[in-house]
Chain A
Amino acid sequence: MTDVADSARRLAVAYRGMVRSAVANALAYRGRLAIWLLTSLFPLIMMVVWLNVVAEQGPAASWDRSDFVSYYVAAALVFQVTQSHLVWIWDEDLRNGTMSFKLLKPVGVYHQFLSQEIGIRLVTLAFFLPIVVVAALTVGDVRYPVGGARLMLVALAILLGFLLSCTMAMSFALIGFWSTQSANLYLLWWGAGAFLSGWIAPLEVLPDALRSLATVLPFRSTVGFPLELLLGRLDSAEIVIGFAVTVGWLGCFGAVFGLGWGAAVRRYQAVGG
């Protein structure tokens, strides 16, 4: 028992160090600002189009101006947290041999990538969270009808969405041990998922068939579910189902990664090896 506690403590210490260095890296990288700008552009563009539709034709599927503004302001933050370039970084590491160094470290590669992602997200949140909070307090159209307890659930949903998207990305990254097409396959997966996640549009304005499908697939957990929760559009049963689906898929992809990782390491031949 002390062994387990001991290794958990050691991992926590390792995480603290790795996340701290990832934060320092993220702060030093000037290009980050441009990437933020680019990623925030999509929700802005989509919001503006919906505002036109609503202004010209009236509410779309009972969503009015305020609903769309609230959705996309928070979406700007959620997109930043749950979209990642992990597959591309992983692929690059495999190509240039950095993966060999990562394998040699006493901390698992999974932990190294996850702490890297956490570090980047902390910097991003420090920038975007104040914007969303200020918008919620000052812009009349931005309304989040949720109290303290519900906000905790929203934070939990975003955290689980982040973990799920990282685990999905890492499962696809494993393909890189066999093929050069891991990033392209991930793009196909993400692209198809964009219609089912709430990225293309809030799921409530999409056809019913897509919405039902989205409820049981993993994509909604990374965008739509936390946002619908924040906008107060879900009842207790829907919240329970949402969390259950998220945790279920997290388990599935965790298992896929766990099994795949063993095979991948056996298969791995380093550059020059």
Chain B
Amino acid sequence: MSSEATGLAHGACSRRRYLRLLGIFWRNSVASEMEYRFNFLANAVLSVFWLAWAAVGVSVYFRFADEVSGWTYPELLVVVGLFFAVNGVRQAMITPNLARMTEYIRMGTLDFLLTKPVDVQFMVSLRHVGVLNWLDPVLGVVLAGIGVAAADQTLTIGAVVAFVVLLGAAIVILYALALALMSASVWTVSSEGMDDVLQGMVETSRLPVQLYRGVLQTVLTIGVPVAFLTTFPAEALLGRGDARLLVVAPLIALVAVAAATAIWRFALHSYSGASS
């Protein structure tokens, strides 16, 4: 996520400062979660369980068809794996911050954060990290790899590079969506349900967008950029991606972050503090 810190900082010196801060913050978050060692282990077991659950669950469709909307079972596993990866990133980096917005605004913590000599967007959106689901992204990528192998695809270097670029763009887009929801909670004075909305969006990326067909597919590609989260990176990994996306996806990610940052600033302008 260093690219966002870069966007916020001014010059190399402050970039290094923000990276150092991020290191301190995240070490602190990890340390406090690691206190509950057993819970940590139990969540790892659950991660494995849910991954197997999802992989076996989608196999039901293939009792009746060899492929659904152009996706075979192994190919679909690539998307399911990437869904776990992206959803794991959401749970680790976004939920812990988004969940704190209600408290920031109700308790006046946001006023306090505004007085700190650190960019407030950085503090609000990246300060906390959760490690309970750390296994999700790892297992997700492993499942995607298994899917690629089972689909008899040979990985080319080009495909891997395209995949990394598209997955990076996916995570930046996810951050932008989260920042927009955080801005919305400045107005609604509560982030209640905001994480559920984001989870809903990510949840629709559990399956490739082609399976939604018609209007819904268009909405999920252009309206809410769900297709960018898992479908496009999966297609790249399977060697059938659209080369134009390598330009379009990073561009959309940049525009999304810029727009979300503008919304955030606008929200802060209309914020009048907890006590007034």
Contacts and interface: CB of A to CB of B under 8 A. Distances in A.
Does A associate with B in a complex?
A: yes
A37 interface: yes
Interface residues of A, number: 34
Contacts of B203: 38, 41-42, 45
Interface in A176-196: 180-181, 184, 187-188, 191, 194-195
Contacts of A29: 192
A49 B42 contact: no
Interface size of B as a range? 35 or more
B197 A37 contact: yes
Given A30-B193, A60-B64, A45 B207 contact: yes
Contact of A184 (B46, B193, B216): B46
B197 A56 contact: no
Interface string A31-60: 111110110011001001110110011001
Contacts of B69: 52, 56
Interface in A1-54: 29-35, 37-38, 41-42, 45, 48-50, 52-53
B196 A35 contact: yes
Contacts of A48: 211-213, 216
A28 to B, nearest CB: 11
| Interface of chain A, main secondary structure | helix
A56 B68 contact: yes
B204 to A, nearest CB: 7
Interface in A39-98: 41-42, 45, 48-50, 52-53, 56-57, 60-61
B200 to A, nearest CB: 5
A57 B66 CA distance: 9
B32 interface: no
Given A41-B203, A52-B211, A53-B65, A33 B193 contact: yes
Interface stretch (A123-131, A164-172, A200-208, A240-248): A200-208
A42 B199 CA distance: 12
Given A45-B204, A49-B61, A191 B49 contact: yes
A57 B64 contact: yes
B68 A53 contact: yes
A4 B43 CA distance: 47
Contacts of A195: 56-57
Contacts of A201: 60
A33 B196 CA distance: 10
| Interface of chain B, main secondary structure | helix
Contacts of B53: 191, 194
B63 A184 contact: no
B192 A180 contact: no
Given A38-B203, A45-B207, A50-B61, A31 B192 contact: yes
A200 B56 CA distance: 10
Contacts of B146: none
B128 interface: no
Contacts of A56: 65, 68-69
Contacts of A205: 60, 63-64
B64 A53 contact: yes
B198 to A, nearest CB: 10
A49 B207 contact: yes
Contacts of B63: 60, 205, 207
A30 B60 contact: no
Nearest to A55: B213
A57 B192 CA distance: 43
A180 B200 contact: no
A52 B190 contact: no
A231 to B, nearest CB: 18
Contacts of B38: 180-181
B65 A31 contact: no
A38 B197 CA distance: 7
Nearest to B60: A201
A184 B68 contact: no
Interface string B58-97: 0011011100110000000000000000000000000000
Interface in B197-232: 197, 199-200, 203-204, 206-207, 211-213, 216
Interface of A: 29-35, 37-38, 41-42, 45, 48-50, 52-53, 56-57, 60-61, 180-181, 184, 187-188, 191, 194-195, 200-201, 205-207
Given A29-B192, A200-B57, 9 more contacts: A35-B196, A38-B197, A38-B200, A41-B203, A45-B203, A45-B204, A52-B69, A57-B64, A181-B39
